[in-house]
Structure 1
Amino acid sequence: MSLSIRIFLVYLVFVGLSGYFILNTVVEEIKPGVRQSTEETLVDTANLLAEILREPVKNQTLQNSDFPQILAAYGRRKLQANIWGIDKTVVNHRIYVTDKKGIVILDSAHKALGQDYSHWNDVYLTLHGKYGARSTAEIPDDVASSVMYIGAPIMDGDDIIGVVSVAKPNRSMQPFIDRSRNRLALLGGIIITIGLLAGILFSWWLTAELRRLRNYALAVSAGERAVLPEQKIASGELNQLANALESMRIELDGKAYIEQYVQTLAHELKSPLAGIHAAAELLQSPMSEEQRERFINNIAVESVRMQQLIERLLNLALVEQQQALHETKAVAIKSLWNELVEAQSARMHQHNISCVNDIAEDATLTGEVFLLRQAFANLLENALDFTPKNGRIRIFSERQNGKLKITIENEGEPIPEFAFARLTERFYSLPRPSTGKKSTGLGLNFVQEVASLHKGELQLRNTEGGVEASLIF
């Protein structure tokens, strides 16, 4: 799947989910919003009628007044109102009045006169000095038939002498709710469509320059004579990336650069080859089946390690240029050192060298396992090179001011003072006591680089009777 498609899919999911939740939230708020506005209007109407009806209710002349005829005429009115595209032809209000006991004394619908309405919330709550409102379905279990009732007290001084209730069917509000929802859905669909089209253009624009860089990188990897795209890369970051790629290509083309990493590869293969050679020599002598199986396993393990070594060190140049780690995870330091010591067990057995792993069980480090393994292996190999027969090596860890210090200490000759300043230089090496030969001088340089990538440092110092190498993270 191309990058542009992946960017668009992420954008599509984001826009789709955002649009859905926003539209759904707004649509769900339309219905209660319309009903709240209607309720507010009913409150005003009920209170206006309460003031108009005060004297007739107080004087008990309501039935003999003109109000019954007025309400009847009100209910029969034919309307020709067009409200935002919706025709309104009939009056939907129902108005009824109760006395202070809750008995209906006036009803515009002419169906509740004389009935006791004191148990309905709009009347009951109003008679008790509270806000009286209720919503009741005219047809049981049919939510669409619900009617909203708002009551207002008819006052005589501080006394409540009756209640006037104004009712409105919720179905009369449904056309306005449906209209708002439909218009919102249409507008939302248009906005989302425009957003998706913008996403397509954005994805194409973003990946167009990346495609030019990709083609350039593929040409370089194929060994072709490639130059940077003639078109100027508009994006600042991508322009920097293009220049970095060009610089890396020029450096990789240099023979000195390639030779340097060939030297590193050869140096890093030394350790597993030495382990295999020592195990092979021991296998030629009589031994128990258990020992034989262990040394054969060492050969297999070191062979796999060599294969991994070749593959990973060929990519080391990229790691150096980026100055960044990949595939980091929490590494159990003690078990990693146990594997390295086991891999060198044949060599230690050959020279009767003892090795003690005193690293704390809970010592962990977040980093790249492969690089840490190679750095630790280099330190162990150096310690073995400079430890005399029947000597001792100790590996331990300690916490210092929130930092983890991993140390390998070996018995042997101290490091000459003149050599300390150059020990981590490339190709600088001291002669091995047992053979007088020097190594390629890349081991400690590699260790220092790995420490730097993990934001740590390498420390070397002489101790009483030996040398101590520490990595501090």
Structure 2
Amino acid sequence: MPLGIRIFLAYFLFVGLAGWFVLGTVMDEIRPGVRQSTEETLVDTANLLAELLRDDVKRGTLAQGRLPDLLRAYGQRQPQADIWGVRKQAVNHRIYVTDARGVVLLDSAGEAVGQDYSRWNDVYLTLQGRYGARSTREVDGDPESSVMYVAAPIREGERIIGVVSVAKPNRTLLPYIERSQRRLAWLGGGLIGLGLLVGGLLSWWLSGSLRRLTRYAQAVSAGERAEVPRLRGGELGHLAEAVERMRVELEGKAYVERYVHTLTHELKSPLAAIRGAAELLEGEMPAAQRQRFVAHIDRESTRLQHLIERLLNLAQVEQRQGLEERVPIPVAPLLEELLQAQAARLQRNGLVARLDVDGDLRVRGERFLLRQALANLLENALDFAPAGAALVLSARAEGRAARIGVFNQGPPVPDYALPRLTERFYSLPRPASGRKSTGLGLNFVQEVAQLHGGSLQVANRDDGVEASLRLPLD
């Protein structure tokens, strides 16, 4: 299982379980919290009524006063109140008053006058000087039918002469409880969802960064060119830098060792030729023969110089993991500049060169490297073009890439050689001299093309050979 998914699952379980526990606990606390608040209000109401009714109870005139009519009028009121989105259309309090023996003197519901309520907890406890309250179900087995009763003593001095009880059905609290639970459920669900989204994004970012770093390490281990990922975030960024430093150190050692072996092998032949010619020059010989050996030494030393220069250029490109700049480069002026640089050789060999380029075509890359790569292709074309042949430098847009071609009339490349042309030190004899080149030019061009995200192709055409570069358009 990918690390990002494992991190997300762990985060999901933690946030989900924590959210479920907290949300469930808060939801369970809403109902008793609302009832506790309501009970506190009933306590205040009962004590207020106890003070208001004290004189009537003491005189025994409670039933003859205006209070029964007031309570009946109170029970018929329709408040039409909008309480936080809940419509209240009726009053729900029941009020009854008992004497010091617990006998009901007054009942706003008109049901219990004359009945003995001394055994109900609200009356019983209050008559004993304690806090009296009870909750009684109107329908057996239905918890939603319970009614909350809170009582307060009616005192004459220190003596309790009666009890007033205020009742409220719990079902009238349900709309407020359910509304709070719905709002809390939506809010809690939203917060949990937001937390999971943040966790998912964090896991995606972390796993994506690790995948980029893994792909980079795999590419490096496979010997491919790869650019170190730019990762934000302390430890991951430091890890990427550490992997890059390790790659540079390891590749540098292997690279130097490989190139020392290669250079040693390639230098043996020209050095042996120079040494042999120098030994022969120590003896007596005709001037013409001496001149031939001197020319041979000069030619082989020039070959050594070219070999070393090409190896240095190739080493610089192969060690790169990316371009130093990416700027728009007009193709037509660049090709014209290359032809101007080879004007003397073109004239000397009687070659006819022409440009076939879209005037406003631009590619994106590093100008210095592209100039070197195209110069290599042009030199190859000049080497293999017979006297009087035609050279065509073309450039066309193909989709989202530009195709830059260097065509020369001449004999085709043998089929066996086509797949090997970009191999290091592989070269075909030049028609004019019969000698091979360093075999590093096309390998250098291929490296430059890959650095730019492009490709190199060499193919035979009807009357010649064309090397083409595909590069990203600007």
Alignment TM-score, normalising by the size of structure 2: 0.51
Give the aligned partner of residue 213 of structure 2: 213
- Structure 1 residue 143: deviation in Å? 0.7
Q: Aligned partners of 1:202 and 1:24: how far apart in 2?
A: 27
Deviations 1:31-71 (A, max 9, x none): 11110110011000000000000001011111111111111
Q: Aligned partners of 1:233 and 1:74: how far apart in 2?
A: 73
Give the aligned partner of residue 39 of structure 2: 39
Q: How does 1:226-237 map to 2 (within 5 A)?
A: 226-229=225-228, 231-237=229-235
Q: Aligned partners of 1:187 and 1:235: how far apart in 2?
A: 32
Q: Aligned partners of 2:43 and 2:193: how far apart in 1?
A: 42
- Structure 1 residue 234: deviation in Å? 1.9
Q: Does 1:20 align with 2:20?
A: yes
Contact 2:103–2:116 (8 Å) recurs in 1: yes
Give the aligned partner of residue 223 of structure 2: 224
Runs of at least 4 residues of structure 1 off by over 3 A?
225-228, 246-255
Deviations 1:96-125 (A, max 9, x none): 000011111111111111111111110011
- Structure 1 residue 3: deviation in Å? 1.9
- Structure 1 residue 90: deviation in Å? 1.3
Q: In structure 1, give the amino acid aligned to 2:86.
A: I
- Structure 1 residue 215: deviation in Å? 0.7
Give the aligned partner of residue 77 of structure 2: 77
Q: In structure 2, give the amino acid aligned to 1:160.
A: I
SS state of the match for residue 115, structure 2? Answer: coil
Instruction: Tell me whether 100-109 or 77-86 shows the greater mean CA deviation.
Output: 77-86
Give the % identical residues. 62
Q: In structure 1, give the amino acid aligned to 2:31.
A: K
Q: Aligned partners of 1:81 and 1:127: how far apart in 2?
A: 36
Say which of 219, 239, 242 aligns to 1:241: 239
Q: In structure 2, give the amino acid aligned to 1:50.
A: A
SS state of the match for residue 90, structure 1? Answer: coil
Structure 1 regions of 5+ residues with no counterpart? 256-473
Contact 1:76–1:91 (8 Å) recurs in 2: yes
Contact 1:216–1:226 (8 Å) recurs in 2: no
Give the aligned partner of residue 324 of structure 1: none
Contact 1:153–1:164 (8 Å) recurs in 2: yes
Q: Aligned partners of 1:219 and 1:232: how far apart in 2?
A: 16
Q: In structure 1, give the amino acid aligned to 2:33.
A: G
Q: How does 1:277-426 map to 2 (within 5 A)?
A: none
Which protein has the larger Cα radius of gyration, Structure 1 or Structure 2?
A: 2
SS state of the match for residue 31, structure 1? Answer: helix
- Structure 1 residue 228: deviation in Å? 4.9
Q: Does 1:133 align with 2:126?
A: no
Alignment TM-score, normalising by the size of structure 1: 0.51
Deviations 1:385-413 (A, max 9, x none): xxxxxxxxxxxxxxxxxxxxxxxxxxxxx
SS state of the match for residue 149, structure 1? Answer: strand
Contact 2:230–2:240 (8 Å) recurs in 1: no
Deviations 1:188-228 (A, max 9, x none): 2222222222222212222222112101222233x314555
Q: Does 1:163 align with 2:197?
A: no
Q: Aligned partners of 2:142 and 2:193: how far apart in 1?
A: 38
SS state of the match for residue 33, structure 2? Answer: helix
Structure 2 regions of 5+ residues with no counterpart? 255-474
Q: Does 1:172 align with 2:172?
A: yes
Deviations 1:346-391 (A, max 9, x none): xxxxxxxxxxxxxxxxxxxxxxxxxxxxxxxxxxxxxxxxxxxxxx
Q: Aligned partners of 2:80 and 2:245: how far apart in 1?
A: 80
Q: In structure 1, give the amino acid aligned to 2:101.
A: K
Contact 1:228–1:246 (8 Å) recurs in 2: no
Q: In structure 2, give the amino acid aligned to 1:91.
A: V
Q: Aligned partners of 2:195 and 2:36: how far apart in 1?
A: 33
